[in-house]
């Protein structure tokens, strides 16, 4: 409900890495970023911070429709997205853009942390979530890690994802003999363990220490929890579409 300080727990913080050219991606080229926010003050500040840190800010947008149009044209690697947008809600922007360009990474940057929206955005493809009170360092680090494909979790988001898995498990799919993918996704015991530790505010490093696994393994577990949720969401959408299509013919 209140995850302002979440931001301090985004794992593998900037402090662990050297300063320098953080805007440089793993491939060596500059990371192309687009900033979407309806508050000019925020949009400019975020864009400036990112540009100063070496990112290539290829576009900005002030509303949802503009965001979709410009993102298609500018082809950014990372979309820094506010969810509360005029013209088209941020969740919808996320859905459309990730649907059109699966390689796009979305980092949700939200002020009020409306939980339902954040969860919906994450299910439809966003891989990171940060509240706006995050420091510049945290933001820059989050964008860099989002570009690298690492999920940016906060304890608040981990709690939401845990809750979502629990709801899916308690609400079995209507068709019991549907394919594997259609069945409600489950977390392995290890994934649940890792997610609970993230929700309790431990850093990836602390989690790795406690479970005696590598930092990379912790990251993989966290990534899997998101991946399964997003896959399930896509399968559900397709199934829904097929059902509707068959009904309609």
Partner 1 sequence: MPKRVKVMRMSVEQPLWRALTAYRVLTMLYALGFFLSAYGDFRRPGVAIGYFAVLVVWTLATLPRVAGAAHCTKPFLAVDLTVALTGILLTPVADAHQRVVEGGPTLPSIWTAGSVLAFAVKGGWRWAAFASTLVAAANLVERGAPTRDTLHNVVLVWVAAIAIGYVVEVARASERTLARALEIEAANRERERLARDIHDGVLQVLAMVQRRGTALGGEAAELGRMAGEQEVALRSLVTGGPSPVSRLSEDAAEGAFVRLVQEPDEGADEAAGAESGAGSGPHGPVDLRSLLAPHTGARVTLSDPGAPVPLPPAAAREVAAAVGAALDNVRLHAGDAARAWILVEDEPDEIVVTVRDDGPGVPEGRLAQAEGEGRLGVAQSIRGRLRDLGGTAELLSVPGQGTEVELRLPKDAPDTGAGARDVRGKAGRR
User: Footprint of partner 1 on this chain (CB under 8 A)?
Assistant: 1-6, 8-9, 39, 41-42, 45, 84, 111-116, 119, 131-136, 155-156, 158-160, 162-164, 166-167, 169-172, 196, 199-202, 206, 209-210
The H or E element that residue 108 is part of is: strand 105-110
Structure tokens at 64: 């949802």
| Residue 32 or 123 with smaller CB distance to partner 1 | 123
| Residue 50 or 104 with smaller CB distance to partner 1 | 50
**Neighbouring C-beta atoms of residue 123, cutoff 10 Å:** 20
- For the bound state, the minimum distance from the C-beta of residue 54 to partner 1, rounded and expressed in Å, comes to 17
- Contact assessment for residue 156 and residue 3, using Cβ atoms and an 8 Å cutoff: yes
| Residue 29 or 40 with smaller CB distance to partner 1 | 40
| Residue 117 or 150 with smaller CB distance to partner 1 | 117
- For the bound state, the minimum distance from the C-beta of residue 101 to partner 1, rounded and expressed in Å, comes to 28
Q: What is the per-residue DSSP string for 46-78?
A: HHHHHHHTT-EEEEEESSHHHHHHHHHHH--SE
Count of all residues that appear for the chain in the document: 249
- Contact assessment for residue 127 and residue 149, using Cβ atoms and an 8 Å cutoff: yes
- For the bound state, the minimum distance from the C-beta of residue 37 to partner 1, rounded and expressed in Å, comes to 9
| Residue 37 or 77 with smaller CB distance to partner 1 | 37
- For the bound state, the minimum distance from the C-beta of residue 228 to partner 1, rounded and expressed in Å, comes to 16
Could you tell me which of 216, 242, 239, 225 has the C-alpha nearest to residue 12?
216
- For the bound state, the minimum distance from the C-beta of residue 111 to partner 1, rounded and expressed in Å, comes to 4
- Which residues is 56 bridged to in the sheet? 32
Spacing of C-alpha 44 from chain mean position: 22
């Amino acid at each position: 409900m209140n995850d302002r300080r979440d931001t301090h727990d985004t794992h593998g913080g900037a402090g662990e890495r050297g300063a320098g050219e953080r805007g440089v991606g793993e491939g060596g080229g500059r990371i192309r970023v687009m900033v979407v926010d309806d508050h000019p003050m925020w949009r400019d500040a975020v864009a400036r911070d990112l540009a100063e840190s070496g990112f290539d800010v290829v576009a900005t947008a002030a509303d949802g429709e503009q965001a979709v149009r410009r993102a298609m044209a500018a082809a950014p690697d990372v979309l820094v997205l506010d969810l509360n947008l005029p013209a088209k809600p941020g969740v919808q922007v996320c859905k459309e853009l990730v649907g059109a360009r699966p390689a796009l990474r979305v980092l949700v940057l939200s002020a009020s942390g409306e939980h339902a929206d954040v969860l919906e955005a994450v299910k439809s493809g966003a891989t990171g979530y940060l509240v706006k009170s995050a420091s510049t360092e945290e933001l820059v680090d989050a964008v860099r890690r989002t570009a690298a494909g690492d999920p940016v979790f906060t304890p608040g988001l981990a709690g939401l994802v845990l809750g979502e898995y629990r709801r899916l498990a308690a609400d079995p799919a209507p068709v019991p003999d549907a394919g594997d993918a259609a069945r409600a996704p489950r977390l392995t015991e290890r994934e649940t363990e890792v997610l609970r530790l993230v929700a309790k505010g431990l850093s990836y490093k602390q989690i790795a220490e406690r479970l005696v696994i590598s930092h990379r393994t912790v990251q993989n577990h966290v990534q899997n929890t998101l991946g399964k949720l997003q896959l399930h969401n896509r399968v559900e959408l397709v199934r829904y579409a097929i059902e509707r299509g068959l009904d309609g013919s």
